[in-house]
Amino acid sequence: MYDIIIIGAGPAGLTAAIYARRAAKSTLVIEAKGFGGQIIKTPDIENYPVEQHISGLDFATKLYNQTVALGAEFIFEKATSIKDNGKTKTVVTPKSEYEAKAVIIATGSESRLLGVEGEAEFTGRGVSYCATCDGLFFRNKAVAVVGGGNTALEDALYMADIAEKVYLIHRRDEFRGEETTVSRLKERENVEIIYNSTVTKLIADKRLRGIEVTDKQGNTRELEIRGLFVAVGRIPENKNFGDIIELDASGYAVSSENCLTKTNGVFVAGDNRGKEVRQLVTATADGAVAATQAVRYISNLNI
C-alpha cells in the first residue's frame, strides 16, 4: 500500500509527486503513455516563471528527474477505474491493482476528434492534431486547419509559413479566437477562410489526398490537401472516474479551490479540473495544492 497514488505524469501529477515526497509520503505515479503530458509537444515555453525559454521536453525531463531523485515510483499503465474502500482507495489498471490512502487524479486532456469517418485510420497519414509537431511534413503542400478558436488560428498562421496553401475551415461565420490573429490571417495571400462549413469526408488511399467540405446550405466542395490539422478543442481525461468524482457538462472535474472532490481522499489537479486558465503554471500550482491536501487528509486518517 502507498500513501499517495497520482494518476498522470504531466506537469500537475509530477509536481504533486514532489510535494508528496517532500512530505515523506510513499508515492506511486501511474502514467498511461510516458512522462511529461501535453507539454512535450512544444519546442518553446516562454511563459513559465524563471525560465525565459525552455523546450517542453527539457521542462518535462527536469521535472521528472526531480521527482525520481525525491523517491517517487513510476509505473506505465493506464488507470481504468478507482474503487473507494473508505479509508483506502484502489486504482485499477489492465494489468494490476494498486492501493493507497489517497489518490490524486491529474490526467489532463486530449485533443477532441473531428468525428469524420476514417479519422483514426488516417491519423499520422495526413490527419494531425498538432501543427507544431507535424507541420514540417507538409512543406510546400496544401493543408487545411479545422476550428474556430485560438489554437486553430495560430495553427493556420504557423502553417501559412510552411505550406503552399492553407484552408481554414470553421463551422460558424465568426471566430472565437483573437481578433488580431484573425486579421493577420486575412492578410496572408495563401490562406483561404471557409466559413459555415464542416469536413464531411476524408479522401485518401494510403495517405490523405483531400477532403470534402459541406456548407450550411448543403453545398459540397472538394479540396485537394495533404494535411488536415484538427484544432476543435480538448476534452478532459475524466471518463474513467465519473463515478468517483463529479463532472460538469463538459466533462471537467468539479472541485473546490483546494482540489477536493466529492469523495474523501480523492483529489484532482491540472487541466482535467474545471477552471478558467489551463497552463503549466496553473497545473503545477494545482499539483502542489492537491498533494498538500492529500498529506493533510492522510494525517487525519487513523490507519
Partner 1 sequence: MAVITGTADNFDTEVLQSDIPVLVDFNADWCGPCQILKPTIEEIAEENKSVKIVSVNIDDEEDLSDEYDVFSIPCLVLFRNGEEAGRSVGLKNKDEILDLIGGN
> Which of 130, 248, 259, 286 is an active site residue?
130
Angle between helices 280-300 and 11-22 (to 10 degrees): 40
H helices, E strands: number in the chain:
6, 17
Say which entry of ligand FAD, partner 1, none residue 214 contacts (CB below 5 to 8 A, set by partner kind): none
d(CA 269, CA 287): 5
Say which entry of ligand FAD, partner 1, none residue 227 contacts (CB below 5 to 8 A, set by partner kind): partner 1
What is the helix (H) or strand (E) element at residue 2, kind and residue range? Answer: strand 2-7
Closest to 81 measured CA to CA, from 248, 233, 263: 263
Nearer to ligand FAD by Cβ, of 109 and 198: the residue is 109
Nearer to partner 1 by Cβ, of 42 and 66: the residue is 42
Q: What is the DSSP string of 49-66?
A: TT-SSB-HHHHHHHHHHH
Query: What is the binding site for ligand FAD (CB under 6 A)?
Result: 7-13, 30-33, 37-39, 41-42, 45, 47-48, 78-79, 106-109, 130, 132, 237, 240, 270-271, 278-281, 283
CB-based contact 101:298 (threshold 8 Å): yes
Cell numbers representing residue 231 in the block: 484544432
In the numeric block, the cell 490527419 is attached to 127
Q: Would residue 86 be called left, alpha or beta, if left means φ above 0 and alpha means ψ between -120 and 50 degrees?
A: left
CB 140: neighbour CB atoms within 10 A?
9
Q: Which of residues 132-191 bind partner 1 (CB under 8 A)?
A: 133-134, 137-138
Q: Which of residues 57-96 bind partner 1 (CB under 8 A)?
A: 57, 60, 76-78, 94-95
Among 27, 128, 198, 238, binds partner 1 (CB under 8 A): 128
Nearer to ligand FAD by Cβ, of 8 and 227: the residue is 8
Shortest Å, Cβ 119 to ligand FAD: 19
Shortest Å, Cβ 152 to partner 1: 18
The window from 128-136, 169-177, 184-192, 290-298 that contacts partner 1 (CB under 8 A) reads 128-136
Contact letters for partner 1, residues 27-56 (x by CB under 8 A)? ----xxxxxx---xxxx-----------xx
d(CA 45, CA 56): 6
Cell numbers representing residue 75 in the block: 509505473
Shortest Å, Cβ 98 to ligand FAD: 11
Nearer to partner 1 by Cβ, of 75 and 247: the residue is 75
Closest to 243 measured CA to CA, from 13, 80, 78, 32: 80
* Residue ranges that bind partner 1, judged by CB under 8 A: 31-36, 40-43, 55-57, 60, 76-78, 94-95, 123-126, 128, 133-134, 137-138, 206-208, 226-227
Catalytic residue ranges: 130, 133-134
